[in-house]
A and B are shown apart, each in its own frame.
Chain A
Amino acid sequence: MTGTGEEMEFMRPATWADALAAKAEHPGALPIQGGTDVMVEINFDVRRPEALLDLNRVAELTEWDTSGGRLRVGAGVPYARLIRELGDRLPGLAQAARTVGSPQIRNRGSVGGNLGAASPAGDSHPPLLAGDAVVEAESAARGVRMIPAAEFYLGVKRSALEPDELIRAFWSAPASGPQYFSKIGTRNAMVIAVCSFALALHPEERRVGTGVGSAAPTPRRAPAAEAFASAELDWEGRGPLPDAASRRFGELVADAAAPIDDVRGTAGYRRHALAVMARRTLAWAWNDHRAATPERRAS
């Protein structure tokens, strides 16, 4: 560039070790994977990072595996592959991935990028929270650090990541029960969430997991709603879900949110919509669970 005075360094490490070293040396470097978020901010001149750290040559980031019964998914696995290859094991996250942008965006964007941006509206976050996912972060100096999703989000576009850390992968158990993701947009595709909700049943633990998106400064769980539903559901007899219980669950989810009025919607509408999505997804999940033949009777 001519005469700009400040130039942006572009680093392209070939290995994970090189990437960690580069990040340690340039803590201000902004990691870029699919670029679906970073490039928009640069193009709009919202952000001028001192350096870009391109992770696309680090092949292992786009791999996934199982270890000790848990899935370890590389930070750079694009949404399209997540839907195709892990849709049966991480159904909530796959449903969320399907709502991200357009096919082109889903071919590039990844959960790692969503975590890095830590936007309260990121579609990955609610299912990661509901599914008890853990973020694997790493630095050259201190090695690997496992951060539960519920502890990862600290503020609007702020995460628990240290300046010298990179996101390597996320961990999650394969779904042990039904999972659902539901999102509000004022258009029927390609829309940023007005608000979103994820729900996961963990039948073996007799527990309900939740994640609320785009309705507070950070993605968050709805603990009171989780406790209520976990206690209320008839895990033993698989009895029907009383309408009053699903409504109460919806109210508790809405209460967990701290939404604002902005260009995408009002705080009041967000609360209302969360309550509706929460009661609907709980009903879907519970009905799926009831319909599934219990294993102990299968044999």
Chain B
Amino acid sequence: MVAPVKSPGHVAAPGIGGVGESAARPDGTLKVAGEFAYASDLWIDGMLWGATLRSPHPRALIRAIDIGPALALPGVRAVLTHEDVPGRAAFGVDGVEDQPVLASGQVRHQGEPVAIVAADHPETARRALELIGVRYEVLEPITDARAVIADPERLKVQDRGGVTRYQPVRVGDVDAARERADVVVSSEFEVGIQDQAFLGPEAGLAIPSEDGGVDLYVSTQWIHNDLKQIAPCLGLPEEKIHMTLAGVGGAFGGREDLSMQIHAAMLALRTGRPVKMSYNRYESFFGHVHRHPALMRYEYGAASDGRLLYADVEIVLDGGAYTSSSLNVVGNAASLGVGPYEIPNIRIDAYGVYTNNPPCGAMRGFGAVQACFAYESMMDRLGEACGLGPVEIRRRNAVSQGSRLATGQVIESPAPLAPMLSRLETMPMPPELDASDPRNLPGGVSQATRGEGVVRGVGYGVGLKNICFSEGFDDLATARVRLEVIGGEATALVHTAAAEVGQGLVTIQAQIARTELGVQRVTIAPADTGVGDAGSSSASRQSYMSGGAVKAACEAVRADLLDLARRSLPEAAHVAGGKIVAASGAVLAAVEDVLGDTVIEHTREYHHRATERMDPVTGQGRSHTQLALCVHRAVVDVDVDLGLVKVVELAAVQDVGRILNRQALEGQIHGGSAQGLGLAVMEEILVTDGLVRNPSFTDYLIPTILDMPPMRLDILEYPDPEAPYGLRGAGEPPTLSSTPAIVAAIRDATGRPLTRVPVRPEHVI
């Protein structure tokens, strides 16, 4: 097999840091210098370029496809449609295979792939797309999610019908509690469609292999789940498909679903040539699923002292035309629908629905983000109605270790929400506005104000996120660790299929190996299907799961190493600093001298505690493995005349169980908070009649350095005894709580109700 240029190789992890140290990223310098090879940089001699013809309509019947003129274009090597799919016609990320490889008979969302082309040059491939004649019979798109719930039998975008999943949660007696409530508050809320907006668009390279299979280099979040979906569609056994992770430029959930993988493989198998596909920014907006938009109705009742008596909630999540991750997104929204508060009576009805709107699936926070905006807005309203401040109303109702969630699940590990809020409240406030520098003002150098109309506001937000997969899923992780002497130095090779998507797992894996094996030189092998499943780089789970697997494999290697040492050094007890040491701490021998030519290698699987499905009628069940909390305080300056917002500061307190790498962790909290800020004030895919109106970074705005403020962080370490090193997943929780904190701060400054995110200037004035 000839490997492509710019494909991943072994990565030597720099530095000497073990667990707990801020070891530097091995790929950091390359990324900053612009030299890191992303999937879009993949190259091999003789490769063809693939391109995708997509539906311009959100809903239409396909009456005919004429590929003749495209095939006749010189330089075109293949034009394929649904008729050319070698195996199963559809796939799906979560086991429901309803996403067509290429549309057959009907298209159900704008941008749905209809045909694919391979050509000698990318421009030729694009011209060929224009020559494919597709005769559509356009149908009126189904775009009203609530209408689908009201009439699921009629408003079907596909045979399976209107509702993806309905998940109720029932606790106590809401109607009786309503009678007793001194204070009742209610509101409707809406969350727009957020996009992952990763900077590296979907890309990959498929190379036909000699055995009739295919080698795939792709940027993805979960190699083995890709493989499970790709193989049946190609009609190939999994062994004939070898997958390697190419450089990933961000993911945030948007790479859980397949994009170009099957298409590139089909074109490579048909032409016998390597085929590269790389979306541009416009196509990327149609090439992956987004965050579900949500329509929510909330009613809370409380006693006059602010203690919650009941919650009555409806959450409607629009998943678009195909199932994708909707089943689990609905599960999260339902189970975490009222957040980390003790409420004795709960009625939640959570729905996922199919429409012809843009397809939605996994995105950082996954169902919990949408509910969090609503329940935190409700806590502010309730506090106001009870005459309590935003911190006090939350503290009074906060869960703690031993509390029950809405699902009845008991929180078994520390959940110090009330103390976290108190710490947040006492953190110093940022200085007063300095209007002399326009960059401090709402609007920045656009100079919309010099201080006129600027009002400061403060808001709080709390978020609760499940870590790892839930509801009975055994999302195991596998690691292979090999210890041998290379060039006179003991070297550990860590091999997993876990996707490094920018979060820093590649760094953490090396730190764990150094700590567990007591050696400094660690190499990380490229993630590929040459080792067992690692599970997805999502659900904040890889430090926990692949970290746990690397730790377990290292422990097995260490045990063998010590056994080997004890043959000549009976008192050998530990490995540290590259030496075999006795229990007394006395150095007995160098690891290299003990190892000699011996190679010690072990592979271990790691599983988290089993979970259960939510009861389909009551929503009860121990559905989550681990839960994580983050709390935010936002300080904003709002130009109340123009509706422009400058977030002055975000302060956060997060419990992470154990800090493995503070620098990487702070990056995750900063990034998660920034993504929550984006949802609060700017990020939205605008859709009219199923058509996306802003598929570009010109009009889909993400925060810049002038939008994202400095952060004050207070990171707590309350260990979870079930987790490796006591750690708690950290990537998602800050994405939940920063959004409601910022919106609460804007409400504080303006007095506007602001029931929809992102908040736009016209909502504020």
Q: Residues on A close to B: CB < 8 A? A: 1-5, 40, 43-45, 95, 98-99, 180-192, 194, 263-266, 268-269, 272-273, 276-277, 280, 284
**Taking CB as reference atom, which chain A residue is nearest B692?**
A263
Q: Find out whether the CB atom of A284 lies under 8 angstroms from the CB atom of B450.
A: yes
Shortest distance from the beta carbon of B233 to any chain A beta carbon, whole Å: 29
Do A187 and B642 form a contact, CB below 8 Å, given A3-B74, A266-B762, A280-B449?
no
Do A280 and B452 form a contact, CB below 8 Å, given A3-B76, A3-B120, A4-B124?
yes
Complex Cα spacing A1 to B452, Å? 56
10 A–B contacts, CB within 8 A, in A order: A5-B127, A98-B445, A183-B448, A184-B443, A185-B443, A187-B707, A191-B446, A269-B761, A269-B762, A272-B765
**B residues 62-84 with Cβ under 8 Å of A?**
73-76
Q: Find out whether the CB atom of B280 lies under 8 angstroms from the CB atom of A44.
A: yes
**B696 contacts the other chain (CB 8 A):** yes
Shortest distance from the beta carbon of B243 to any chain A beta carbon, whole Å: 30
**Taking CB as reference atom, which chain B residue is nearest A281?**
B447
Do A184 and B704 form a contact, CB below 8 Å, given A44-B696, A280-B449?
no
Shortest distance from the beta carbon of B745 to any chain A beta carbon, whole Å: 16
Q: Find out whether the CB atom of B686 lies under 8 angstroms from the CB atom of A183.
A: no
What would 11 more interface pairs be, CB under 8 Å, given A45-B126, A182-B447? A2-B75, A2-B119, A3-B119, A183-B443, A184-B448, A187-B704, A188-B646, A188-B707, A192-B699, A273-B761, A277-B448
Q: Find out whether the CB atom of A188 lies under 8 angstroms from the CB atom of B282.
A: no
Contact partners of B641 in chain A: CB under 8 A: 276
Q: Find out whether the CB atom of B693 lies under 8 angstroms from the CB atom of A4.
A: no
Contact partners of A40 in chain B: CB under 8 A: 698
Do A99 and B445 form a contact, CB below 8 Å, given A2-B124, A44-B280, A263-B699?
yes
**B123 contacts the other chain (CB 8 A):** yes
**B444 contacts the other chain (CB 8 A):** yes
Complex Cα spacing A268 to B761, Å? 11
Q: Find out whether the CB atom of B761 lies under 8 angstroms from the CB atom of A187.
A: no
Contact partners of A269 in chain B: CB under 8 A: 643, 761-762, 765
Do A95 and B707 form a contact, CB below 8 Å, given A2-B121, A276-B642?
no
**B556 contacts the other chain (CB 8 A):** no
**B578 contacts the other chain (CB 8 A):** no
Q: Find out whether the CB atom of B762 lies under 8 angstroms from the CB atom of A265.
A: yes
**B442 contacts the other chain (CB 8 A):** yes
**Taking CB as reference atom, which chain B residue is nearest A273?**
B642
**B694 contacts the other chain (CB 8 A):** yes
Do A181 and B447 form a contact, CB below 8 Å, given A3-B74, A188-B442?
yes
Q: Find out whether the CB atom of A263 lies under 8 angstroms from the CB atom of B282.
A: no
Complex Cα spacing A181 to B641, Å? 17
Contact partners of A183 in chain B: CB under 8 A: 443, 446-448
Complex Cα spacing A182 to B475, Å? 53
Complex Cα spacing A269 to B447, Å? 17
Q: Main SS of the interface on chain B?
A: loop
Q: Find out whether the CB atom of B761 lies under 8 angstroms from the CB atom of A4.
A: no
Q: Find out whether the CB atom of B704 lies under 8 angstroms from the CB atom of A188.
A: yes
**B residues 440-464 with Cβ under 8 Å of A?**
442-450, 452-453
**B350 contacts the other chain (CB 8 A):** no
Complex Cα spacing A45 to B76, Å? 20
- Which 4 pairs, one residue from A and one from B, show the smallest C-beta to C-beta distance? A3-B75, A188-B444, A3-B74, A183-B446
Q: Find out whether the CB atom of B762 lies under 8 angstroms from the CB atom of A4.
A: no
Q: Find out whether the CB atom of B701 lies under 8 angstroms from the CB atom of A186.
A: yes
Residue of B442, B644, B681 with most chain A CB atoms under a 10 A cut-off: B644
From the candidates A43, A191, A268, A277, name the one contacting B701 in the complex (CB within 8 A): A191
**B482 contacts the other chain (CB 8 A):** no
Contact partners of A192 in chain B: CB under 8 A: 698-699
**B297 contacts the other chain (CB 8 A):** no
Shortest distance from the beta carbon of A100 to any chain B beta carbon, whole Å: 10
Contact partners of B450 in chain A: CB under 8 A: 280, 284
Q: Find out whether the CB atom of B74 lies under 8 angstroms from the CB atom of A187.
A: no
Shortest distance from the beta carbon of A292 to any chain B beta carbon, whole Å: 17
Q: Find out whether the CB atom of B701 lies under 8 angstroms from the CB atom of A184.
A: no
Do A263 and B693 form a contact, CB below 8 Å, given A2-B75, A284-B450?
yes
Complex Cα spacing A284 to B448, Å? 11
**B703 contacts the other chain (CB 8 A):** yes
Contact partners of B442 in chain A: CB under 8 A: 188
Contact partners of B644 in chain A: CB under 8 A: 184, 186, 188
Q: Find out whether the CB atom of B762 lies under 8 angstroms from the CB atom of A3.
A: no
Q: Find out whether the CB atom of A3 lies under 8 angstroms from the CB atom of B444.
A: no
Do A265 and B761 form a contact, CB below 8 Å, given A188-B707, A189-B444, A273-B642?
yes
Do A189 and B448 form a contact, CB below 8 Å, given A184-B644, A263-B693?
no
**Taking CB as reference atom, which chain B residue is nearest A123?**
B446
Shortest distance from the beta carbon of A94 to any chain B beta carbon, whole Å: 11
Do A264 and B699 form a contact, CB below 8 Å, given A1-B124, A4-B124, A43-B280?
yes
Contact partners of B447 in chain A: CB under 8 A: 95, 99, 180-183
Do A3 and B73 form a contact, CB below 8 Å, given A189-B445, A266-B762?
yes
Complex Cα spacing A44 to B760, Å? 27
Complex Cα spacing A273 to B120, Å? 51
Do A190 and B704 form a contact, CB below 8 Å, given A185-B443, A269-B643?
yes
Complex Cα spacing A37 to B162, Å? 43
Shortest distance from the beta carbon of B742 to any chain A beta carbon, whole Å: 14
Q: Find out whether the CB atom of A44 lies under 8 angstroms from the CB atom of B282.
A: yes
Q: Find out whether the CB atom of A263 lies under 8 angstroms from the CB atom of B74.
A: no
**Taking CB as reference atom, which chain A residue is nearest B701?**
A187
**B residues 401-459 with Cβ under 8 Å of A?**
439, 442-450, 452-453
Q: Find out whether the CB atom of B446 lies under 8 angstroms from the CB atom of A185.
A: yes
Complex Cα spacing A271 to B236, Å? 61
Complex Cα spacing A188 to B121, Å? 40
Complex Cα spacing A98 to B447, Å? 10
**B residues 96-132 with Cβ under 8 Å of A?**
119-121, 123-124, 126-127
Contact partners of A186 in chain B: CB under 8 A: 644, 681-682, 701, 760-761
Shortest distance from the beta carbon of B537 to any chain A beta carbon, whole Å: 29
**B residues 674-711 with Cβ under 8 Å of A?**
681-682, 686, 693-694, 696, 698-699, 701, 703-707
**Taking CB as reference atom, which chain A residue is nearest B641?**
A276
Residue of A44, A190, A284 with most chain B CB atoms under a 10 A cut-off: A190
Contact partners of B74 in chain A: CB under 8 A: 2-3
Residue of B280, B439, B704 with most chain A CB atoms under a 10 A cut-off: B704
Shortest distance from the beta carbon of B636 to any chain A beta carbon, whole Å: 12
**B residues 35-87 with Cβ under 8 Å of A?**
73-76
From the candidates B120, B282, B445, B696, name the one contacting A2 in the complex (CB within 8 A): B120
Complex Cα spacing A131 to B122, Å? 46
Shortest distance from the beta carbon of A231 to any chain B beta carbon, whole Å: 25
Complex Cα spacing A130 to B442, Å? 24
Contact partners of A264 in chain B: CB under 8 A: 699
Complex Cα spacing A191 to B707, Å? 12
Complex Cα spacing A183 to B76, Å? 48
**Taking CB as reference atom, which chain A residue is nearest B694?**
A263
**Taking CB as reference atom, which chain A residue is nearest B282?**
A44
Contact partners of A98 in chain B: CB under 8 A: 445
Per-residue interface assignment for chain B, residues 245 to 282, with 1 indicating a CB less than 8 Å from any chain A CB and 0 otherwise: 00000000000000000000000000000000000101
**Taking CB as reference atom, which chain A residue is nearest B74?**
A3
Residue of A4, A99, A265 with most chain B CB atoms under a 10 A cut-off: A4
Shortest distance from the beta carbon of A282 to any chain B beta carbon, whole Å: 12
Shortest distance from the beta carbon of A106 to any chain B beta carbon, whole Å: 11
Complex Cα spacing A103 to B705, Å? 13
Complex Cα spacing A44 to B698, Å? 12
Shortest distance from the beta carbon of B428 to any chain A beta carbon, whole Å: 24
Contact partners of B123 in chain A: CB under 8 A: 1-2, 4
Q: Find out whether the CB atom of A3 lies under 8 angstroms from the CB atom of B124.
A: yes
Shortest distance from the beta carbon of B688 to any chain A beta carbon, whole Å: 10
Complex Cα spacing A276 to B447, Å? 12
Complex Cα spacing A192 to B703, Å? 14
From the candidates B446, B453, B693, name the one contacting A184 in the complex (CB within 8 A): B446
Complex Cα spacing A194 to B706, Å? 18
Contact partners of A266 in chain B: CB under 8 A: 762
Contact partners of A5 in chain B: CB under 8 A: 127
